[in-house]
Amino acid sequence: MDKIHCRRGKSPQTKGKSANPAPSVQQLSGRRRPDRKPSKQTVEQRLATLSGSFAGKLPERIEEIRAAAEFFTEQPARRLTAAERQRALATLQALAHRLAGSAATFAMPT
């Protein structure tokens, strides 16, 4: 097989064959011991921990959304450029979207 050089000064590779092939599914599955599978209880416990952490940060996240909404609505239009208003609105939308998505993940009302 012909040798080719990669761009950016990387080491040569064999044409048609990767120098460092990704491991196959069989190789990956062979590395995992059957007794090391995560149990359903462990996953549920981890989700409960994350849910508690999310709930604890809700006041901070709600305040962040409130401040973004206040900035967007209380700034006179003449003081903000169109690009600044667009960025403020995009920030507000992103914060609200992330909060709603996270709440749905943890089965909280949205």
Helices (H), 1-110: 25-31, 40-74, 82-105
What digits encode the pLDDT tens for the residues 5-18? 444 444 444 455 55
Domain residue limits, the chain: 60-110
- Residue 26: pLDDT above 70? no
Distance CA 8, CA 18 (A): 16
pLDDT of residue 107: 81
The pTM (predicted TM-score) of the whole model is 0.56
Provide the pLDDT confidence category of residue 101 given band limits of 50, 70 and 90: very high
